[in-house]
Amino acid sequence: MNELLQNLTRLQALEFGEIKEKNAKATIVELRGKIPQQILGHYDRLVAKGKKGVAAVRNQVCTGCHMRVPIGVVATLMHDTDIQLCESCGRYLYLSESTGTKAPEETARRKPARKVRTSKNSSPMVSTPPPAMPLALNELGPGKMQPGLRPISA
Ligand SMILES: [Zn+2]
């Protein structure tokens, strides 16, 4: 998990009293100082509505609203390249350590050549292109050689 998400989840846990620290107030101030204003603003708007600003992703599902999170979002979280918002509830997402990475690994193992993103809906369509390739090569091979050989031997 990247530092920003770590700060956000820690801030939330402190503000919601999920973790108890002696200097919780000082830590909250410190964390708020580290998190970019724009992100903090979005977080605070959610909290002001009585929601949590950050939600874990488990089994590719947002634990804040229980809606499915797109595999691309999960992949981004896995690679820690960017922070992601839930499309449904607008919470910042982070991967739950235990099971959040399970789904993408499974799909990648089953169809290594394909993009993970497309494997959900279009897997029946995928089976058509492979048989077409060897067939075309077989027809082309002998068909090309014979007309070339005959004029020379005749
Ligand atoms: Zn959500």
pLDDT digits (tens, 9 = 90+) for 15-31: 999 999 999 999 999 99
Residue 148 is assigned to a structural domain of this protein: no
53 CA from centroid of ligand 1 (Å)? 10
Which residues are near ligand 1, the ion (C-beta closer than 5 Å)?
62, 64-65, 86, 88-89
Mean pLDDT of 106-117: 51
User: Does the residue 51 lie in any domain?
Assistant: yes
What is the β-pairing status of strands 84-85 and 61-62?
Answer: unpaired
- Which tokens hold the place of 65? 């609203």
Give percent of the chain with pLDDT exceeding 90.
58
For 96-133, give one letter per residue: b (16+ CB within 10 A) or e.
Answer: eeeebbebbeebeeeeeeeebeebeeeeeeeeeeeeee
Separation of 99 CA from ligand 1 center, angstroms? 17
**Domain membership of residue 8 as a residue range:** 3-119
136 is a domain residue? no
What would the pLDDT profile of 66-111 be if each residue is shown by its tens digit? 999 999 999 999 998 889 999 999 999 999 865 434 444 444 455 4
pLDDT of residue 100: 38
* Residue 26 domain flag: yes
Please check whether residue 73 lies inside any domain of the structure.
yes
pLDDT at 82: 87
**62 in a domain, yes or no?**
yes
Mean pLDDT of the residues in the chain: 78
* 32 belongs to a structural domain: yes
Question: For residues 136 and 19, which has the higher predicted lDDT (pLDDT)?
Answer: 19
Separation of 138 CA from ligand 1 center, angstroms?
Answer: 52
The total number of structural domains that make up the chain: 1
Q: Does the model's pTM come out above 0.75?
A: no
